[in-house]
Structure 1
Amino acid sequence: MRIFLLIVSAIITIVLIFLLSTSLSISGSKTPRFGAFLSPQNGFWQNAEASNIDFNEKFTSARLDGKVDVFFDERLVPHVYAEKENDAYFVQGYLHAKFRLWQMEFQTYAAAGRLSEIMGKGKAFLEKDRFFRRLGMVSSAEQSLKTLEANSVTKSELDAYTNGVNAYVETLDPAKYPLEYKLLDYKPEKWTNLKTQLFFKYMSYELAGFDSDFEMTNARSIFSPADIEQLYPIAPDSLDPVVARGTTFQNASHIPKKPGNADSIYFHSSGISNSTLIPQPDKNNGSNNWAVAGSKTKSGAPILCNDPHLGLNLPSLWYEMQLSSPTLNTYGATFPGSPSVIIGFNDSCAWGVTNASRDVKDYYEIEFRDSTMQEYMFNGKWLKSTFRNEIIKIKGEPDVTERIAVTVLGPVMYDKTFPNVLKDGKYYALRWLAQDTSNELLAFNKLNHANNYADYLNAISNYQCPGQNFAFASKSGDIAIRQEGKFPAKWQRQGDYLMPGVDSSYAWQGFIPNSENPAMTNPARGFVSSANQLATDKDYPYYLAGRPFIYRGIIINRWLNRLSNITVEDMQQMQTDTYDVFAEMARPLLLRYLNQQDLSNDELSYINKLKEWNLRTDYNEEGPTILDKWWRRLQKEVFSDEFAKTALPMRTPDNSTLLEGLLRDSTFKFVDNISTPRVESLRQIVSASFKKAAKDLDTAKQSDYLIWGKYKNTGLKHLLNIPSFSRQQLEMGGSLNSINANFRNNGPSWRMIVQLSKDTEAYGVYPGGQSGNPGSKYYDDFVDDWVKGKYFKLLFLNKQEGQNSDKIKWKMTFSKA
């Protein structure tokens, strides 16, 4: 019996050892090794952070050239004071790693197409990795790194930053690994300069990676050129551009030539690209920025405001800090993974950015000699392809090799080995601006050091991709905005559709000269602004390819035209405003054509709520939900019959297209349902759409999401989509058409207001916290204030003020070993 019990005990012990040391597959996902994860010495218990944690620390490194003092204020924002500027970047890297290591490294894994390496077997991860490998993220980052390292300023800055990251990584043992490493059962890598460039390329994808070439090509195969112009107009009627209407532009110095066969082949092609949906960044990634001159402010000093709208994630995209040395003093939002302040201010000026929403990503159909893709036709000759063999490692599985053909027009994004995006057997090469070598870090380095308008212009002239609207204000009184980037000079509609790639006639023919980019400086109206709308009206001599927004720009300029004696408090109120100008235009139209006499009492109750609505998209309002449901149903009633001609994806016309089409003409061509024998009127379509929307609203009411805040469900999602590490169902208002633009997991990722008075007065907030550790009280401690529209006063202190401030709670000292 004793032997039997010993055998049973041994078997149980062996099984437990196996279970505790092995990752198990549960519901298609891999668990961490439970033994390591639950270990009291090294497991997740070690990530619980005491509420009274002491961040005081002394650190020495042979990589430092002098002493650095870091004062942390009560919000855990570091104020870095270095004797040498490069040491400030070293400490920036160290602090980014200390508080955000997993986040910054995970993002570079995604950019490099390496998620399978840490996430394991899974089609979604592998397909995403294949997508980013084909996009050329790594090779593009490698080429841009050569440019960056050829510049002594940016090389020394990035070298110092990377050394700082690695100085922290070298202090880690498994017990100190951020929690996500333990969950996914892997360990941090050594940081490299390439990883920072990968992060910049990933931001290019997020902000300049959206395209609709395949969807537009499908639309072109169904609709006439005249229909296309109605469905997808180049510029909406209600556009209030970045550069004010009536501005005189110089004649184009570089005029691209449209191919002679474009009218017959490009604009009238009947071939349908048999595509499925292509991975896309969030098309709602946008932003607001504006600067008002001292002539419009109560203090007489310019005020600059910025709130970039990006994915709402935890840990937050941003990390707030001050960097100071004898040659530098700047404060603002930084990217974990990159040195310098990205959006912020210094002793002399402030700057902020919004996305230019320009199309710098085009596809070309390649004619290969055969399926080996060894040769392709170009300009009447068979040219040799080059190849990239990308090794994708998969955790616990054999490696996968992605063989990518490269042509003079770019890498072949889609071929027969990548069938989930194309079914027609064709080959498409990608020409994307982010593939070009560039040095965006130099632009931010120079902005951090800028003293005046001339410095601002010099700084942003180094910026290429993703194109941005750089707003600027200085203590000398200047305000300006400039759409900066490297933009291809295109003939009208070039790149809106898939293009022939058998010769150079459809290739980019050059770039718009930097001096001809849209810009405004010290305008008579006393302000500049942007909100992802088109930069100019039709008088600009170049084609502004892209898919811009319009309604936030309208309400921003309405505010700024109306206001005088502006205060910081006015700007805070404006930046969090929830008024919906699209609803202001759409509601009268819908009510005008609704047959109210045919409505039931329940349906009338919805209409009465819509009529009484104040057009603010506040959390408890029901009006915006009613309008949204109705508008979505109207879009289907108007367009679904024409779009039913194909099961293939097509770009949905913008809200402004339908609204302006109906405002111009109640007999708008697409109102009639072509699948019925009769001719429907707008009144019939509007009434029918409301009847259907009313049923949707009944369902929403029964499910308790009729109020707008619950319906739009704004939240912050952890990068691994772990619910307990996320903050969902936030009680906040706003809409995609409001200045306070948010919906689902997209919204203002950093709100900043800077008054450039003698003593700079600045305020800011972002949805998150300084720590990336879900076990820390500093992980999400800004979220509630952000939701409520509150701001923190930003402590822009000199070193002596920092030493004496009662807002400073901890001190870290760095010195040379």
Structure 2
Amino acid sequence: MLKKLIYLLAGVVLLLVLLCTGGYYYFVKLPLPETDGEIQIKGLHAPVKVLRDRWGVPHIYAENQHDLFMAQGFVQAQDRLWQMESNRRLAAGRLSELIGPLTLGLDRLVRTLGVMRAARREVASYDASHLKILNAFAAGVNAFIDHKKGRLPLEFRLLNVVPEPWRPEDTLAWSKMMALFGGKNWQEEIVRAMLEQKLGADKTRELLSYNQHVPPTIIPSSLNLALLWPPRPHGPSAFVPVFGGASNNWTVHGSRTATGFPLLANDMHLPLRIPCVWYEMHLVAGDYDVIGLSLAGVPGIIAGHNRDLAWGITFGYTDGQDIFLERMNPHKAGQYLYKDQWLQAELIKEEIRVKGEKNPVIHEIWQTRHGPIISPQVPPTQSLEHALALKWSAHDPGDMMPTMSRINLARNWEEFKSAAQNWSEPAMNLVYADRKGNIGYVLASRIPIRMGGHGRGPFPGWTGENEWLGYVSPNQKPLLMNPARGFVATANNQVVSSDYPRYIAMDYATGFRAARIEQVLSDKAKTTKDDFRTLQGDFRCLPAAQFLATLEGIELQDPVSYQLLERLRSWDQVLGPDSVGGAIYSVLFYRLQENTFRDELGPVADHFFGAGLTYLEPLNRFCEHSRVILLRLMQDRESPWFDDIRTPNRENLIHVLDKSLKETAAFLQEKLGTDPSGWQWGRLHQVELQHALGSVKPLDRVFNLGPYEGGGHFSTVWQSAVNPGMDFDLKAWTVSHRHIYDLKDWDQSLGSVVPGQSGMFGSPHYDDQMEMWLKVEHHPLYYSREKVEAEAKHLLLLKP
């Protein structure tokens, strides 16, 4: 009997092993991309070689442009098909077809914003020559879908999804989404409206006046940008600078490098997910020989280098959005007031199919002359008196794909500049370097021309006094070539000073990151790639010096407050993962925000501290604005803002500081223990990279990566943003890639994407660059055909 039982148990164990092994093979190994051998693809005109290096970077060699972009679509889909599918569904407002009612609110929001409608209008505006690349790329994606039938990635099988054919508008819709993520100005306008409703116009104006410009500007104020413009009878309103968030790039002239040739660095800051937003590729055919970062679902290279030049990007934060307050007719649906007349808004009806529901949801959108009415989909605005319409430059057709192709093919500054000046969205700061030794900068963005001369909305929509008159002409956009100081750096900071004759934006990032980059580059007589790598991992916190300066001379009697303040004063102002002072500073700063503003702002304080207004983004740019405002207020210890209006006493900064220090000590003791030596910033500031399937327990232990201890904050070069509140984990944005381009020898260029090239669980490139991210390391980014072939680990031949 015992023997039979043993045989039975052994059989059950063997069966389980076979099932697990078979399941792993079927769901995980079978969908992995074929990287060696031959694959026949209908639609190719000639064979295409795809060589992959040890980090999974594909180098595609084709004989013509059509085959190059068809192969790019095929290869991207090999590693990123699920990401491409989920991205296009997000942009189209179709997630509920997969997820169910949980994402219906998000789908309603995106449908209302009109991302896919805008993408279709842009596709319709392209001529046949502009559509060639989009159509070839789509054909490549669809060829992969056909080739992989029955062996699609794990996510498709678990959700029982069969991907629809890829279309050109799917590509442009994701580009519009990137423009939306990079253009948060409409949220800041709404927060200003909420502040004004809570505080009144005068007090709001006084509070926001503390949000002053933190130098530097990208283009030095000594340059006479007015020369770009003919004289005008009526000048625009004065430029008023304020701030926003994320990404760095810089380039140094060869006269200031060890090699005698320019160097260029780029790291963009986005929420960390699996897989990365970026996908490294090398595209070669005819005049194309370009390598760098692509966006999954988008043909071409968005940042990188070709034979002659390199470029890097950061979000430019041009104000391409305005919120208009609309007076709706309470007696007639869809009517709104404009210049004393009731106009009828266009009613757009869209079907949203929801998993598990028999009938589709009919979603209605009212479209005014200023754009769609968005307030029903933005819950925090429900208490505002008027409906809110969104005017957005990305609603107008642009030239994104033709312009990106021209940048990829540019051979010199004039060709690059001409292409960049015609870029539409997303708004980008482009830094440039070429092998002839030139460096430069172009603001690549549409710049709206407004009747009022500024974009400090929201604006009353009924007056007709704040309409857009068009866009600044391409040859009048800010640019810079070979500055005397020998470098160009951008970090989402203010582009120009007030001598530029047009309003560009007011919601920039603080200038602290840019100032730190300039500080380091200015101190180097001859910079090297190692200097660039060190700077990309820099945790020096410049605003901490200002913060501590405001506390000079303050002596506190409470022993807990006194000891904590003394620890903070001895801090080196570096926000590394092991920093005790960094943890005290970060927690204390937020407690000071709460204890200064919550009493007067109530729930509005959440958005003033930076909480996002929609499902799409966790933060708005007040996450930095409010911090700058507090730093300025702390210079006046008797500011009325430090008085708690809920008490009969009159408090000042010292009272608020004492209370906040006690709360900080209590929080750190509860979270990290009673020994202050263990109060390290990285223990509070952890990052976990989530895969789509890792949002469900216990699958998080299988698919997710981390948690890892992080460093930095909003104002460090290695930026790592946190959401408002007492959860200091890294859940917003941070460095998503790092690249350094060597203009002397392209084969010496460096790159990395976090956590790796592949979105396919089970791939060796799923997380093989995670350690690089943590240690600020890079892999070689080989470029010459000789070096690529010598270092290739895989060769795939795509044949007609």
TM-score normalised over the length of structure 1: 0.85
Residue 815 (structure 1) aligns with:
799
**C-alpha displacement at 1:680, in angstroms?**
2.6
Residue 614 (structure 1) aligns with:
572
- Residue number among 130, 155, 162 corresponding to 1:180 in the alignment: 155
Residues 630-660 of structure 1, C-alpha deviations (whole Å, 9 max, x = no match): 1111122222233249789556552122213
| Deviating more after overlay: 676-685 vs 240-249 | 676-685
**C-alpha displacement at 1:41, in angstroms?**
11
- Residue number among 383, 392, 400 corresponding to 2:361 in the alignment: 400
What is the SS of the residue equivalent to 1:654? Answer: helix
Q: Distance in 1 between matches of 2:64 and 2:340?
A: 58
What is the SS of the residue equivalent to 1:477? Answer: coil
Residue 271 (structure 1) aligns with:
none
Aligned pairs for 1:419-430 (under 5 A) are 421-423=381-383, 426-430=386-390
Residue 654 (structure 1) aligns with:
626
Residue 82 (structure 1) aligns with:
62
Residues 542-581 of structure 1, C-alpha deviations (whole Å, 9 max, x = no match): 3343322221011011011111211111111111111111
* 8 Å Cα contact 2:226-2:499 kept in structure 1: no
Q: 2:515 matched to 1:554?
A: yes
* 8 Å Cα contact 2:713-2:720 kept in structure 1: yes
* 8 Å Cα contact 2:429-2:444 kept in structure 1: yes
Residue 29 (structure 2) aligns with:
49
* 8 Å Cα contact 1:144-1:436 kept in structure 2: yes
Residue 473 (structure 1) aligns with:
433
Q: Distance in 1 between matches of 2:591 and 2:109?
A: 34
Q: Which amino acid aligns with 2:149?
A: D
- Residue number among 628, 633, 640 corresponding to 2:586 in the alignment: 628
* 8 Å Cα contact 2:42-2:143 kept in structure 1: no
Residue 43 (structure 2) aligns with:
63
Q: 2:279 matched to 1:344?
A: no
What is the SS of the residue equivalent to 1:162? Answer: helix
Residue 323 (structure 1) aligns with:
283
Change (3 A) 1:634 1:508: same
Q: Which amino acid aligns with 1:321?
A: M
Residue 231 (structure 1) aligns with:
207
Q: Distance in 1 between matches of 2:66 and 2:72?
A: 10
| Deviating more after overlay: 372-381 vs 183-192 | 372-381
**C-alpha displacement at 1:248, in angstroms?**
2.0
What is the SS of the residue equivalent to 1:48? Answer: helix
Aligned pairs for 1:336-375 (under 5 A) are 336-370=296-330, 372-375=332-335
What is the SS of the residue equivalent to 2:539? Answer: coil
Q: 2:150 matched to 1:190?
A: no
Q: Distance in 1 between matches of 2:681 and 2:779?
A: 27
Q: 2:658 matched to 1:687?
A: yes
Change (3 A) 1:165 1:703: farther
Q: Distance in 1 between matches of 2:591 and 2:746?
A: 53
**C-alpha displacement at 1:77, in angstroms?**
1.1
Q: 2:778 matched to 1:791?
A: yes
**C-alpha displacement at 1:43, in angstroms?**
5.9
Residue 71 (structure 2) aligns with:
91
What is the SS of the residue equivalent to 1:631? Answer: helix
Residue 771 (structure 1) aligns with:
758
* 8 Å Cα contact 2:244-2:492 kept in structure 1: no
Residues 324-362 of structure 1, C-alpha deviations (whole Å, 9 max, x = no match): 112110110111101001110111100011111233222
Q: Distance in 2 between matches of 1:138 and 1:359?
A: 21
Residue 788 (structure 2) aligns with:
802
Q: Distance in 1 between matches of 2:660 and 2:379?
A: 38
**C-alpha displacement at 1:318, in angstroms?**
1.2
**C-alpha displacement at 1:669, in angstroms?**
4.1
Q: Which amino acid aligns with 2:445?
A: G
Q: 2:540 matched to 1:579?
A: yes
Residues 265-314 of structure 1, C-alpha deviations (whole Å, 9 max, x = no match): xxxxxxxxxxxxxxxxxx97510000100110011100111001011110
Residue 188 (structure 2) aligns with:
212
Change (3 A) 1:207 1:649: closer
Change (3 A) 1:50 1:151: closer
* 8 Å Cα contact 1:315-1:771 kept in structure 2: yes
**C-alpha displacement at 1:370, in angstroms?**
4.4
Q: Distance in 1 between matches of 2:481 and 2:63?
A: 36
What is the SS of the residue equivalent to 1:715? Answer: strand
Q: Which amino acid aligns with 2:111?
A: R
Aligned pairs for 1:404-483 (under 5 A) are 404-415=365-376, 421-423=381-383, 426-483=386-443
Q: 2:449 matched to 1:489?
A: yes
Q: Distance in 2 between matches of 1:498 and 1:737?
A: 28
Q: Distance in 2 between matches of 1:419 and 1:660?
A: 31
What is the SS of the residue equivalent to 2:247? Answer: strand
Residues 513-548 of structure 1, C-alpha deviations (whole Å, 9 max, x = no match): 333322221100000010011112233333343322
Q: Distance in 2 between matches of 1:700 and 1:482?
A: 46
What is the SS of the residue equivalent to 2:688? Answer: coil
**C-alpha displacement at 1:237, in angstroms?**
4.6
Q: Distance in 2 between matches of 1:555 and 1:201?
A: 31
What is the SS of the residue equivalent to 1:187? Answer: coil
What is the SS of the residue equivalent to 2:360? Answer: strand
Q: Distance in 1 between matches of 2:771 and 2:419?
A: 36
**C-alpha displacement at 1:183, in angstroms?**
2.4
**C-alpha displacement at 1:616, in angstroms?**
1.6
Q: 2:739 matched to 1:752?
A: yes
Q: Distance in 1 between matches of 2:406 and 2:516?
A: 32
Residue 781 (structure 1) aligns with:
768
* 8 Å Cα contact 2:32-2:153 kept in structure 1: no
Q: Distance in 1 between matches of 2:492 and 2:199?
A: 28
Q: Distance in 2 between matches of 1:668 and 1:486?
A: 40
Any gaps of 5 or more consecutive residues in structure 2? 1-17, 238-242, 610-621, 722-729
Question: Percent of pairs identical after alignment?
Answer: 28
Change (3 A) 1:375 1:684: closer
Q: 2:659 matched to 1:673?
A: no
Aligned pairs for 1:21-36 (under 5 A) are none
* 8 Å Cα contact 1:587-1:627 kept in structure 2: no
| Deviating more after overlay: 521-530 vs 403-412 | 403-412
Q: Distance in 2 between matches of 1:151 and 1:51?
A: 35
Q: Which amino acid aligns with 1:165?
A: V
What is the SS of the residue equivalent to 1:443? Answer: helix
Change (3 A) 1:780 1:51: farther
Change (3 A) 1:49 1:207: same
* 8 Å Cα contact 2:421-2:477 kept in structure 1: no
What is the SS of the residue equivalent to 1:131? Answer: helix
* 8 Å Cα contact 2:565-2:661 kept in structure 1: no
Instruction: Provide the aligned length of Structure 1 versus Structure 2.
Output: 745
Q: Which amino acid aligns with 2:176?
A: K
Residue 115 (structure 1) aligns with:
95
Change (3 A) 1:418 1:473: closer
What is the SS of the residue equivalent to 2:110? Answer: helix
Q: Distance in 1 between matches of 2:329 and 2:137?
A: 48
Q: Distance in 1 between matches of 2:233 and 2:661?
A: 47
Residue 733 (structure 1) aligns with:
711
* 8 Å Cα contact 2:318-2:504 kept in structure 1: yes
**C-alpha displacement at 1:155, in angstroms?**
1.2
**C-alpha displacement at 1:418, in angstroms?**
8.0
* 8 Å Cα contact 1:303-1:756 kept in structure 2: yes
What is the SS of the residue equivalent to 1:812? Answer: strand
* 8 Å Cα contact 2:756-2:769 kept in structure 1: yes
Change (3 A) 1:644 1:165: closer
* 8 Å Cα contact 1:297-1:566 kept in structure 2: yes
